Structure 1
Amino acid sequence: MDTNPRTGRAYKRGPYKRHPVAFKRAVVEASFAPGASVSRVARDHDINANQVFLWRTLYRDGLLGDDEPALLPVRIDAPMRSPATDRCATPVERIRTAAPGGTLTVEFGAVRLRIEGRPDADTLAQVLERLSARC
């Protein structure tokens, strides 16, 4: 319970509102419209403008995701075999980012994995684990 500083009376705050991700994205996209005011968009949706600013930051950082997980486009090339052992080449632990536009290239032995966009860390870990198991 909190206390009102003017009256000294105790009051209980109500429960937090839980907004669906689709609603948050719609509010943020409305606030990005040309000539839109964040405070007016917030008032139209009966929420605080500070909440809209937080959602805008999450949206820009890619953290206000869709309701469904996005799939990454993947192309698997045939592995290069070492003629001496007829096995995959020894893995090289080298990770580099190729361009500031969100492209990640991972070279793992003879395998080169190129990812565009912002990959999910768990999915990327599973892909790398399976790549290492193949070699």
Structure 2
Amino acid sequence: MVDAGDVGSRRRVRRWRSVSEKRQIVQLTMEPGASVAEVARAHGVNANQVFKWRRAFDRGELVESCSALIPVTMSSASEASDEPEEAPQASSGGAIHIELPGRAMISVESGADPVLLRSILESLRK
């Protein structure tokens, strides 16, 4: 006799994929002659999910989270001058200076990681 609880009780387990796994799968789909459906099937992933990962990859969103620490110099509000500071001259190395009123000043050298810079600016905006 079959128990009614056993019928259709097979549960689909979702597999969590790391960013590096997603990137690897996406890069396989971009090889000449590759089929998204075949690559997805070979990795046990729905093809629609792989297409979402491809769009995220194209937008630059499929990146490892970076938890690097960078040096930050904070100045107190009492040290701030009422007179506007002279704008720094452009250097040949290329850098920009971003001053957040009463909060922080950030110097960004040329070649800085744009993803890391975005996450820093977003965290300071909060």
Higher relative contact order (CA 8 A, sep 6+): 2
Percent identity, please.
27
Residue 49 (structure 1) aligns with: 47
Unpaired runs of 5+ residues, structure 1, are 1-9, 80-84, 93-103, 130-135
Residue 88 (structure 1) aligns with: 80
Instruction: Report the CA distance between 1:41 and its aligned residue.
Output: 1.4
- TM-score normalised to the size of structure 2? 0.52
Q: Is the contact between residue 26 and residue 50 of structure 2 (CA under 8 Å) also seen in structure 1? A: yes
Q: Is the contact between residue 105 and residue 112 of structure 1 (CA under 8 Å) also seen in structure 2? A: yes
Residue 26 (structure 2) aligns with: 28
Unpaired runs of 5+ residues, structure 2, are 1-6, 85-95
Looking at structure 2, the residues matched to 36 and 91 of structure 1 have their Cα atoms a distance apart, in angstroms, of 61
Instruction: Report the CA distance between 1:70 and its aligned residue.
Output: 5.9
Task: Name the Cα RMSD after superposition.
Answer: 4.1
Partner of 1:69, secondary structure, is coil
Q: Is the contact between residue 37 and residue 47 of structure 2 (CA under 8 Å) also seen in structure 1? A: yes
Length, aligned pairs only = 98
- TM-score normalised to the size of structure 1? 0.49
